Amino acid sequence: MKPLLLPIVLLGGLSLAASAAEPSATELDTIAQRVRACTPCHGAEGRATSEGYYPRIAGKPAGYLYNQLVNFRDGRRHFPMMTYLTERQTEQFLLEMAAHFAAQELPYPPPQRPNVDAALLERGRVLATEGDAQREIPACSACHGSRLMGVEPSVPGLLGLPDDYLIAQMGSWRSGSRRAHEPDCMAEIARRLEREDLAAVAAWLAVQPVPENTRPDPAFEQEPPMRCGSIPENTQAAP
Ligand code: HEC
Ligand code: HEC
């Protein structure tokens, strides 16, 4: 892991240096060392760059992060370095890394400037906050929380992410190259959206400022409108 040291110092230096001030031997053997492999791409704190395609992972729900690590390992998501890094880990380390990044509280980048017209943005707002009952598209907020910052333990927030990342992820669900645990509600929703809906909702989400409290909601306010394999059974209705 030697070659990774330089980018870490450059990218993240301060916080790592601070937390490394009094490292316990076991900590160095475990989390601090392991997350070094993540920082060149996700930032020392797991942050995306403003242009970046490398998603921020800081502050996302631990169950969501863990599910993604498992999805890369098991071939439901594809990115060679992510597969490489997760294949070699024990279950315990995957859990610890997920918990490590979930606990990070870091500022979000400022919202993007709108790059689409007002009508498309409005279409995005309606989809995100109300859905489209006729086409059986639930509001994104029904599962991602009314503040759209996600719901513990396994639904991620949708604000503070660049629109190209959102579009790429929804596109991967439509094409089947990203999958979640079955039933894969996001795949179903992504397929019900037209290409233009996708652009609209991603554009609207990307220009929203994150709320002051960026933490995910502790629980659903209402039961999710569809079954999702990645949401724990006891928080949704029987099939
Ligand atoms: C070479 C760059 C690179 C490295 C190193 C890397 N990642 Fe990633 N990671 C990515 C990219 C790119 C994606 C998004 C891939 C996609 O489009 O699905 C990603 C996605 C993820 C996701 C899913 C994020 C989400 O919101 O769905 C998690 C979690 C994650 N990485 C954790 C880690 C951890 C933990 C490490 C260190 C052990 C790590 N990554 C190292 C590039 C990297
Ligand atoms: C029925 C519940 C439900 C609804 C409604 C829903 N989602 Fe999701 N969404 C999820 C779950 C569960 C996940 C986590 C899937 C996984 O583990 O990969 C997710 C993940 C995502 C992700 C991945 C985020 C990341 O960091 O990679 C995006 C993007 C997303 N949803 C967009 C949307 C949009 C846009 C809408 C509205 C059009 C929406 N979702 C509606 C349940 C839902």
Split the chain (239 residues) into runs of 10 and give each run's mean pLDDT. 34 35 54 80 59 78 98 95 91 94 87 91 98 98 98 96 90 96 98 96 96 95 96 77
Ligand 2: residues with CB < 6 A are: 55, 64, 67, 127-128, 138, 140, 142-144, 155-156, 158, 166, 169-170, 180, 185-186, 189, 201, 224-226, 228, 230-231
Residue whose CA is at the smallest distance from ligand 2 atom 38:
140
59 by Cβ neighbours in 10 Å (0-12 / 13-18 / 19+) ranks as buried
CA of 165, closest atom in ligand 1: 17
Please report which ligand is nearest the Cα atom of 161.
2
Burial of 110: CB neighbours in 10 Å, binned 0-12, 13-18, 19+: exposed
Cα gap 57→67, rounded to integer Å: 13
